[in-house]
Amino acid sequence: MASILVIGSGLGGLLAAVRAADAGHRVVLVTKSVLPESNTRYAQGGIAAALFRDDSVDAHVLDTLRAGAGLCDPAAVRVLCEEGPARVRDLIRFGVDFDRDESGVARGLEAAHSRSRVVHAGGDATGAAVEAALVTTVRRRAAIEVHEHTMLVDLILDRGEVVGARVLGPNGVQFSLTADAVILATGGAGALYTHTTNPVVATGDGVAAAYRAGASVADVEFYQFHPTALAVPGTPLVSEAVRGEGAVLRDQLGQRFMLAEHPDAELAPRDVVARAIARQMERQNGAPVLLDATGLGRDLLETRFPTITAACRAAGLDWAVDPIPVAPAAHYWMGGVETDTWARTSLPGLFAVGEVARTGAHGANRLASNSLLEAAVFADRAVRALGRPWPMRAHSTPIFDAAQPADPSRPLPADLNTLVDRTQLQRLLWDCAGVHRSGTGLTGAAAILDGWSSPPATSTSVAALEDRNLLGLARLLVAAALAREESRGAHFRADFAEPRAELAWSHSQSLELVPAKEAIAC
């Protein structure tokens, strides 16, 4: 029996906590907000898995590899697709009530899938259904100690191994939690951008803390922008499944434009659709494009997509009658803390699951509805790997250690040492490291980011600690985007508009890449 610290309460964190408790381990689960608040809760489309007779694991593998634009790890993809069906069945046993039709479990088609294989719950409330079922399961496990409103500050290391974490409690006091192993499940970093489908808690805390501790991160230039967020305050997500059901995209004059962009039109890969929408918006002086779902009928829209229907209604829109305005928004980070196929990072004792991790399963552009699947598959594998030998080693000397806590912020000239402003950072990344990028814009963004300083690691403010993380991650993302002199998947550069075969490899970043005094601040 071991002590396991799980950080984060989306599907990955909740499932890891349950699995670890059921395996006899003592589990402490911490989450920055309340237990049900995570990216998982807002996932709409569903979970992709080869569950049906007219589908196969091999077909799911091929679809995933195609979407990944040459950057997937085939071994990770194979694990994802082979073990996915069993993990979906686990969720059913934990109480997730997937939608049904006359043939059994209902399924939908989403972009870049060759089969209808996406199972969903509550119409377009799959994430909420999964989150609710797992939260209930966690609360029933006496072996799981839950700490809400508790934020990760930094990981703690002892002789190069992760032995716990320093956290900020709900009373504004930092304290340490020790463990035999730490499972990071802190999600993505949509808060890097002005427009995002993510909740406000998605500030990349796990990736930032792991990087500061010396863990290798990879592919951080690949941020997926969902093509269709409702273009109203709050940018609520409009699931890809709507286009899978037959909705089409139109310009302000009512003409379809995706037919000229890709053979699959509205069901092209997400990066293709997002860029096409962004280009069309430029032609329209920034006005959003229109998603026309009127042909689907009110009954289908309200039954299959109740969450989106409610969001439209709240914005004064009736999408059964009129096309609705949509635009791209930051949605999912393919990059993150580098792991092997057992969710082990380069730091012994540290696992990473879900969006915080770069497993290699998504490559340069995640296939729709593979995100919840990845969280479930690798959370399960992380727990099964507890106690096994650790094959990956740290890439560099950690800069935060149990014996010597430190803030690794880069020293700056006094006249440039301006405290980071989150709104300005978000606007900068949206303009220079968003859907469309260029070397000139990225170079300018890097210079501006270098002129900002981060709040101290000793801060007792959640917002300040989040800003510390966001600044460091912005620097990492921009640096990686500058280094990748090509366009591939979700990363598009106007000055290198085509993919280059010789660059079809992942960029890993760790603190050993630069001298310690020049370490990129996080």
CA Rg, the chain, in Å? Answer: 22
3-state secondary structure of 104: strand
**Residue 326, φ and ψ in degrees, nearest 5:** -135, 160
Contact 356, 184 (CB under 8 A): yes
Question: Shortest CA distance to 181 belongs to which of 401, 340, 344?
Answer: 344
Tokens describing residue 7: 């950080």
The one-letter amino acid code at 133 reads A
- Catalytic residue check, 270: yes
Total residues belonging to the chain? 522
Question: Shortest CA distance to 365 belongs to which of 239, 225, 267, 216?
Answer: 225
Q: At how many degrees (to 10) do helices 74-93 and 126-139 cross?
A: 70
Tokens describing residue 419: 């405290």
3-state secondary structure of 512: helix
The one-letter amino acid code at 395 reads H
Contact 378, 354 (CB under 8 A): yes
Q: Which residue has the tokens 């981060």?
A: 454
3-state secondary structure of 276: helix
Question: Shortest CA distance to 163 belongs to which of 359, 462, 403, 460?
Answer: 403
**Cα–Cα distance between 2 and 300 in angstroms, integer?**
49
**Cα–Cα distance between 64 and 117 in angstroms, integer?**
13
For residue 453, the tally of other CB atoms under 10 A from its CB is 18
Torsion (CA) 128, 131, 136, 141 in degrees, nearest 10: 180
**Cα–Cα distance between 223 and 332 in angstroms, integer?**
6
Question: Shortest CA distance to 194 belongs to which of 424, 421, 427?
Answer: 427
Angle, vertex CA 109, rays to CA 53 and CA 239, nearest 5: 145
Distance between the two ends of the chain, CA-based, in angstroms? 34
> Which member of 78, 270, 381, 488 is catalytic?
270
Q: What share of the chain is helix, strand, coil (3-state, %, to 5)?
A: 35, 20, 45
Tokens describing residue 190: 């949509």
Tokens describing residue 517: 């005094």
Contact 37, 212 (CB under 8 A): no
The one-letter amino acid code at 195 reads H
Question: Where in the sequence numbering do the catalytic residues fall?
Answer: 270
